[in-house]
Amino acid sequence: MGGAPVETTRVGIVGAGPAGLLLSHLLHLSGIDSVVLDARTREEIEATHRAGILEPGAVAALVDGGVSDRVLRDGDRHDGIVLRFDGEDHRIDLKALTGRSVWLYPQQDVFADLADRRAADGGDVRFGATVTEVLEPDSRRPGVRFVDADGAARELRCDLLVGADGSRSACRRALPTEESRLLFHEYPYAWFGIIAQAPRSTDELVYTESEHGFALVSQRNATHQRHYFQCDPATDATDWDDERIWAELQRRVAGPDGFALREGPIVERSVLRFRSLVVEPVRHGRMLLVGDAAHTVPPTGAKGLNLAFADVQVLHDVVGRWLRTGDDDVLNDYRHRAGERVWRAQHFSSWMSAMLHARPGEEPFERRRRLAELRMVAESEHGRAFLAEGYTGWDTPPVAGP
């Protein structure tokens, strides 16, 4: 119909971010064909700054999954994080508490490793290909219409369609509203994120509560650092010059210990929204959603990419089993096995956010209550262990059946 040339593949994947590319890679290892479409160019995706913390499970997906071991060379292992409140540091020793560490390795690097691996393996990944319509997700031959990088209208049909197309997912919009619920929460604060050309100020991440609001000291490499501070969601990042940004960060991290950030030119600035979203169910016929398309978490704790990778690892198992058995009911295992972790991550991200951020107009009582909570978490071994377990991630339930 429409005369557009029709191509076919086993698994059609919309979205060439880390979730779509990891899925395509894992399917390739299992001998299953896929085509990945993304409206953006590779350069556009690579220029988008996202979070930088990988749980051990995500590192294993890259290294043991044969994508790349660059994370082990260019990334930094972090055995702990710091909670800073009342102007004092309280270290959470992730390694001692859980036996696990996290890795600082920016999402752009994860994306580049995956895109390079797919290219080296001859993967069919098409950048600049815009999906215009999702076709018959509940049929045996779902698909999409899309406009390719040369502006030509095309159609892709597949056995299974996967929406890995992020928080503004076109695939999600194709779910029937009478079947799917969107569970949504919007927070009354946002993060102002910067990249500064400066030496490291700390070796580990510092999550700071202060009377002036939250701030996070993160890193990128020897020459560039990533910091965030809580702001109003309506903030226009271009209104803030370097001097004002540094003054705001410095007053939030200040304390009796005299700690101060090392400053330098700010080369990137943007405002990040705080939203939680869960789509239930994430399957409609032969269309499934993964990663941000299926759920969004607020940035505190950097769970987004980790959750997307966990989804994809479960989905890869499920697709293999589905193709072996030919039973569409097997596709429901994806939601059952991935869903538990989604809600854990939702809780963890919103708990960390609520504990560390003042809501606008917060009463003095509420701030004192939050400080008591921070102190209980930081000073109790059980409290620290609870935080460390969430921060380093959870195991995914094992595969059921054949």
- Point out which residues bind ligand DHB (CB under 6 A): 51-53, 205, 218, 226, 299-302
Whether the CB-CB separation of 79 and 94 falls below 8 Å is answered with: yes
For 366-398, letters b (16+ CB in 10 Å) and e give: eeeebeebbeebbeeeebbbebbbbbbbbebee
Compute the least distance from the CB of residue 217 to ligand DHB, in Å: 9
95 is catalytic: no
Q: Provide DSSP, 193-257.
A: EEEEES--S-SS-EEE--TT--EEE---SSSEEEEEEEE-TT--GGG--HHHHHHHHHHHH--TT
Compute the least distance from the CB of residue 53 to ligand DHB, in Å: 5
In whole angstroms, what is the distance from residue 58 CA to residue 98 CA? 16
Compute the least distance from the CB of residue 259 to ligand DHB, in Å: 18
Q: Cis peptide leading into 281, omega within 30 of 0?
A: yes
Closer of 51 and 164 to ligand DHB (Cβ) = 51
Compute the least distance from the CB of residue 165 to ligand DHB, in Å: 21
Closer of 81 and 160 to ligand DHB (Cβ) = 81
| Annotated active-site residue in 284, 295, 303, 357 | 303
Compute the least distance from the CB of residue 328 to ligand DHB, in Å: 37
Closer of 299 and 339 to ligand DHB (Cβ) = 299
State whether residue 134 is helix, strand or coil: strand
Closer of 169 and 353 to ligand DHB (Cβ) = 353
| Annotated active-site residue in 189, 207, 228, 334 | 207
For the chain, the 3-state helix, strand and coil shares in percent, each to the nearest 5, are 35, 25, 35
347 is catalytic: no
| Annotated active-site residue in 56, 106, 137, 299 | 299
As to burial, measured by CB atoms within 10 angstroms (0-12 exposed, 13-18 middle, 19+ buried), residue 273 is middle
Tokens 């270290």 correspond to 91
In whole angstroms, what is the distance from residue 221 CA to residue 313 CA? 29
336 is catalytic: no
Closer of 68 and 300 to ligand DHB (Cβ) = 300
105 is catalytic: no
Residues annotated as part of the active site: 78, 207, 299, 303, 391
